[in-house]
Amino acid sequence: MPSENTLKLLCFSAPSGAGKTSLVRALIERIPELSFSISATSRPRRGTEQEGVDYYFLSPEDFRQRAAQGLLLEWEEVYPGALYGTLVSEIERLRSLGKIPILDMDVYGALGLKKRFETQVLTVFVMPPSLDVLRQRLQLRGTDSPERIEERLAKAKEELRLSEEFDRIVLNDEFAMALEQAEAIVRRFIEE
C-alpha cells in the first residue's frame, strides 16, 4: 500500500443468504464515493460470472504464488480448496480513481484486516433475523443442494458467534430499513 495513513476500507461480511450482496449493491448505487473491490478467487467460474467483473479468476497455483509474493492484502480458504482474497493492485486501482473500496469478504478476512488497519477499516456484519429465516432464504434462492444448504448453515453459526467482533451490525430483517441503517453507517465513516 503506498500510503497507509490515508487508507479507508469498508468490509461487509455475512452468512450466505443474509442479503449482503443486495445491500452492498444498493449502497454503491446510492453513494458515488464507493466502488466494489473485485476479489481474486481460485474457484471455477459459475454461470454468468465474468472475469474482472465478478472476480479475478486465478488457478490455485497462480493464487498461491501471488500470496507468497505479498500481492494479496488478505486471503482465506473460505471453503475447502477454494481460496479468496483481495489483490493489493485492486485496492490501488480503486484508490487511484479516488474511490473508497467496499469489500465483500468472509468474517476471518474482515477481522484480519481490522486487526491490521484498525480505524482505517470499518467492519460491518449483516445479520439475518434467525437461522430459520436464513434456511428459508437459501431454499428459496434455489442455487444450493440440501447438503450445501446445511453446510452453509453450519458455517453461519460460526459466523454469528464472531459477529460481536465487528464494528457495526446491521440487522437485515426488512431490507429498506437495513439499507437505511447501513447507508448512515457508511456516510459517517466516509465523512470522518
Binding site for ligand 5GP (CB under 6 A): 39, 43, 74, 76, 78, 84-86, 104-106, 109
Nearer to ligand 5GP, 25 or 192 (CB): 25
Query: Closest distance between ligand 5GP and the C-beta of residue 121, in Å?
Result: 13
Q: What are phi and psi of 48, to 5 degrees?
A: -90, 10
Nearer to ligand 5GP, 165 or 188 (CB): 165
Element containing residue 122 per DSSP (H, E): strand 121-127
Q: How many CB atoms lie within 10 A of CB 65?
A: 12
Task: Please name the residues in contact with 191: beta carbons below 8 A apart, sequence gap of 6 or more.
Answer: none
Query: Closest distance between ligand 5GP and the C-beta of residue 76, in Å?
Result: 4
Return the residue nearest ligand 5GP (CB atom): 109
Q: How many CB atoms lie within 10 A of CB 18?
A: 27
Nearer to ligand 5GP, 43 or 93 (CB): 43
Query: Closest distance between ligand 5GP and the C-beta of residue 6, in Å?
Result: 21
Cell numbers standing for residue 98: 479516488
